[in-house]
Amino acid sequence: MTDARTEILARVREALAGSTVESAEAHPETGRASEVEPVETPPSHAPVVDLFAERVADYRAVVERCSAAELADRIAAALPEGPVVVPPGLGIDVPGAVVDDGTLTAADLDRIAAVVTAARVGIAETGTIVLDHGLDQGRRAISLVPDTHVCIVREDQIVPDVPDAVALLDPTHPLTWISGPSATSDIELDRVEGVHGPRTLHVLITPAE
Amino acid sequence: MSATFVGMPAFPTAAREALADSQLRHNLAHATGTIRAKRAKVVEEVPDWEELRLAGAALKERALLDLDAQLVRLEETLTANGATVHWARDAAEANAIVATIAKQHAAEEVVKVKSMVTQEIGLNEALAEEGIAAWETDLAELIVQLGDDLPSHILVPAIHRNRAEIREIFLRKMAAAGRPAPADLTDEPAVLAAAAREHLREKFLRAKVGISGANFAVAETGTLVVVESEGNGRMCLTLPEVLVSVVGIEKVVAQWDDLGPMLRLLPRSSTGERMNPYTSMWSGISPGDGPQEVHVVLLDNGRTRALADEVGRQALRCIRCSACLNVCPVYERTGGHAYGSVYPGPIGAILNPLLRGVGHDDQIDSLPYASSLCGACFEVCPVRIDIPSVLVDQRAQVVDAHRAVSWRSVPKPEAAAMKGAAYVLGRSRRLSLVERLTGLGVGLARRFGLTAWTGARDLPEAPAESFRAWWERTDGGRDASGNDAVDPAGPDEDLRKGDL
Ligand code: SF4
């Protein structure tokens, strides 16, 4: 008996006999991805940052803009009562926070109220934050299990639209795209914030260093 | 519960039952109407939407036409990233692979992210037979699973349940599955969601094995992508030690950049949001972060059969956004259960026959007829699947299959009618010609029968004026003086979007 791999690949080849990728190109209804005009990049970056702030807020996330000097105070104000975890390379002092050394279990994290992380990319058009889980963001579990996520996005990290973000991201890292707090509309389509992910998303936008 | 809907009656019978359920019709009309409006609003925001659809269709089509090479590439990159790749010809093979992995880790339970493909293969039932409990973690799937029920919509599987029913199900069934619902549970959606959070959290924290599907698999980089809302996906993909993803071979896209257009198309088409709350991407194993044992099961289960159908293969581009369900006048009235499959609505009406073949099961053979061919599904489809054309082709195949087994080679009346429809819908000039002859056709049909057709449908009076003629005369109804000559949503609805 042939193995499943050999047989599936043979079936695929048989199914495609006579069709080539060129037949897709010849198809009048199809164009290459690269033919999509990039969404026009505004001449100044400020409108992109404004749009990002507006679109993140649309998801009922908390959005604040502040200077680098104000950051520590704003973080402190955003944190709820209870223990806080931070990634090993956050680069901002959060008094009293536990620095994740990779040994906290999921159950440990479940007893932690909040997490503070940086981000990799912000997407203005969709109000999305992307984490690539580098040292200033930490492994995936720490930004997932605690109920409040305070996320710092630098203005120079914000790009206009999704393809711009895809181009910047490195697929060898695990990536988490976050657009607002966890939500469901499964019950009569009523949007309810917060099922399993952090129920509070607090975004702090700061100018580039 | 049977996820394969064994013994479902053919569509007309099931649809008649569903039509008699007024709660179901109310829930469905509300849901499809709401999502439709949200989608329209966010699609309007995108100036290059039509080009984006072209790009989405093209990149999926190219991957499909090069599928053997893409799959080999995907296997290479996944393996290089530390994942173990398995191949499964059918549901039984896929289920056996997953069960073996779970048993190797002595797992008595697994947590699951909502995935159509694991429903398609009946994974939960197969695992249950091996003594492994598979917990659905998506809120709607949890409602369906606890209610011992079947999903009725791709995106909102519990759309047929209202809040009072959900409260009932939680109160009655949660205790047997784990943490019970609080005694003071109300039917507020937020309260119900909080009960689900508590119930599932203990399962997430202790689960050793997570199971997912994937929305996209990138051959170039060996990356899988899961798009979700609630965070249950992130939990299942991050906390367990072992992750098994069952991926239909049609999910492959060639390159990393292809995710740009796809992630612009999917959320807007699906939930009507600019972006869904969470999307997770992972490329095999990340040391120190998430599952340290990662498996990917590449599944055929009829996909190569669909690929061999030159008209139907476009159905494999489907990204399961469910936009076609929400615009379908048939789906809106009957709901998902009438389709007797995990893939309901217009896409289900073509995908099920394509995956499983026609001519051996009346239920499947009835699906290509579950449509009025209005064309709304094609218009909204983010990857431009021409569902009406495939439906017509499938009808012809059903008829051919039946003729092949019959000792008489007389085509059914629908056979002639559908061959005619394929021809007529092909060109707008022919369509307008036929519209002028519709009165004649309806008269003939009344006279000579077509009873199977009219038994489940009211054969309309032929209008005095066709929709297209009405549109031209009244400028699409904007000219108020002429808009009462004929109801535009009336008898000609069947044809109105055919080829305008
Ligand atoms: S057929 Fe098109 S519209 Fe329907 S679910 Fe698939 S991708 Fe969406």
Contact B307 A16 (CB under 8 A): yes
Residue B301, Ramachandran bin (φ over 0: left; ψ between -120 and 50: alpha; else beta)? left
Residue B419 has pLDDT above 60, yes or no: no
Tell me the C-alpha distance between B108 and B94, whole Å: 18
Contact A110 B205 (CB under 8 A): yes
Name every chain B residue with its beta carbon within 8 A of the beta carbon of A110.
201, 205
What is the average pLDDT across B235-241?
Answer: 96
Selection from B330, B25, B8, B354 nearest residue B162 by Cα: B25
Tell me the C-alpha distance between B348 and A75, whole Å: 49
Instruction: Find, in chain B, the residue whose alpha carbon is nearest to that of A20.
Output: B65
Residue B341 has pLDDT above 50, yes or no: yes
What is the average pLDDT across B161-183?
Answer: 89
Tell me the C-alpha distance between B435 and B467, whole Å: 9
Tell me the C-alpha distance between B284 and B294, whole Å: 6
Name every chain A residue with its beta carbon within 8 A of the beta carbon of B208.
none
- Structural element, H or E, at residue A63: strand A62-65
pLDDT in tens, A148-175: 999 999 999 999 999 999 999 999 999 9
Output the six-digit token pair for B119: 């429903």
Non-local (6+) Cβ contacts of B112 within 8 A are B118, B123, B124, B134, B135, B136, B137, B141, B210, B211, B212, B236
pLDDT in tens, B278-327: 999 999 999 999 999 999 999 999 999 999 999 999 999 999 999 999 99
- Nearest residue, CB atoms, B263 vs list A29, A162, A188: A162
CA-based angle B276:B279:B284, to the nearest 5? Answer: 165
Residues A66-69: contacts with CB under 8 Å, at least 24 apart? A66/A204, A66/A205, A66/A206, A67/A206, A67/A207, A68/A206, A68/A207, A68/A209
Longest dimension (CA), chain B: 74
Domain boundary assignment for chain A: 1-44, 45-206
- Nearest residue, CB atoms, A186 vs list B86, B140, B305: B140
Percent of chain B residues past pLDDT 90, beyond the cut: 55
- Nearest residue, CB atoms, A179 vs list B47, B276, B305: B276
Burial B334-351 (b: 16+ CB within 10 A, else e): bbbbbbbbbbbbbbbbbb
Name every chain A residue with its beta carbon within 8 A of the beta carbon of B113.
none
Task: Determine the residue of B265, B266, B318 to mutate for testing ligand 1's pocket, defined as the one with the most ligand atoms within 8 A of the Cβ atom.
Answer: B318
The chain-wide mean pLDDT, for chain B, equals 82
For the entire predicted model, the pTM comes to 0.83
Residue B498 has pLDDT above 60, yes or no: no
Instruction: Find, in chain B, the residue whose alpha carbon is nearest to that of A179.
Output: B277
Residue B85 has pLDDT above 90, yes or no: yes
Q: Report the DSSP pairing between strands B252-253 and B216-218.
A: parallel
- Residue B336: the pLDDT is 75
- Residue B432: the pLDDT is 46
Give the position, in ligand 1's atom list, of the atom nearest the Cα of B346.
4
For residue B66, give the DSSP letter: T
A 10 A CB-CB count for B9 gives: 15
Contact A183 B200 (CB under 8 A): no
- Residue B417: the pLDDT is 59
Cα B143 versus chain centre, distance: 19
Residue B316 identity: L
CA distance B434 to chain A (A): 27
- Residue B112: the pLDDT is 95
Query: What secondary structure does DSSP assign to A24-60, as a single string?
Result: HHHSTT---GGGSPPPPPPSSSHHHHHHHHHHHHHTT
Contact A197 B305 (CB under 8 A): no
Residue A15 has pLDDT above 90, yes or no: yes
Instruction: Find, in chain B, the residue whose alpha carbon is nearest to that of A196.
Output: B231
Closest C-alpha residue for ligand 1 atom 8: B321
Residue A26 has pLDDT above 90, yes or no: no
Dihedral pair phi/psi, residue B281, rounded to 5°:
-130, 135
* Secondary structure tally for chain B: helices H, strands E: 24, 10
Non-local (6+) Cβ contacts of B123 within 8 A are B94, B95, B98, B112, B134, B211, B246
Q: How confident is the model at residue A43 (pLDDT cuts 50, 70, 90)?
A: low
The CATH number of A45-206, from 3.30.43.10, 3.40.50.1000, 3.40.50.10420, 3.30.565.10, is 3.40.50.10420
- Nearest residue, CB atoms, A37 vs list B48, B273, B300: B48
Choice between B36 and A20, residue whose per-residue pLDDT is larger: B36
What is the average pLDDT across A46-75?
Answer: 96
- Residue B160: the pLDDT is 77
Tell me the C-alpha distance between B158 and B167, whole Å: 13
SS3 content of chain A, % helix, strand, coil (to 5): 30, 20, 50
ipTM here: 0.91
Q: Which of A1, A6, A8 to mutate to test the interface with B (most CBs of B within 10 A)?
A: A8
pLDDT in tens, A115-153: 999 999 999 999 999 999 999 999 999 999 999 999 999
Residue B126 identity: A
What 3-state class would DSSP assign to B256?
A: helix
Instruction: Find, in chain A, the residue whose alpha carbon is nearest to that of B165.
Output: A187
Q: How confident is the model at residue B402 (pLDDT cuts 50, 70, 90)?
A: confident
Name every chain B residue with its beta carbon within 8 A of the beta carbon of A8.
71, 87, 89, 249, 298, 300, 304
Contact A163 B264 (CB under 8 A): yes
What is the whole-number distance in angstroms between the Cα of residue B266 and the centre of ligand 1?
A: 9
Give the position, in ligand 1's atom list, of the atom nearest the Cα of B384.
2
Q: How confident is the model at residue B234 (pLDDT cuts 50, 70, 90)?
A: very high
What is the average pLDDT across B399-405?
Answer: 82
Residue B473 has pLDDT above 80, yes or no: no
Give the position, in ligand 1's atom list, of the atom nearest the Cα of B325.
4
Name every chain B residue with its beta carbon within 8 A of the beta carbon of A140.
234, 237-238, 289-290
What is the average pLDDT across B60-88?
Answer: 98
pLDDT in tens, B12-43: 776 766 666 777 778 788 888 888 999 999 99
pLDDT in tens, B433-461: 444 444 444 434 444 444 444 444 444 45
Contact A127 B274 (CB under 8 A): yes
Choice between A194 and B411, residue whose per-residue pLDDT is larger: A194
Helix axes B67-80, A4-15, angle to 10 degrees: 150
Q: How confident is the model at residue A187 (pLDDT cuts 50, 70, 90)?
A: confident
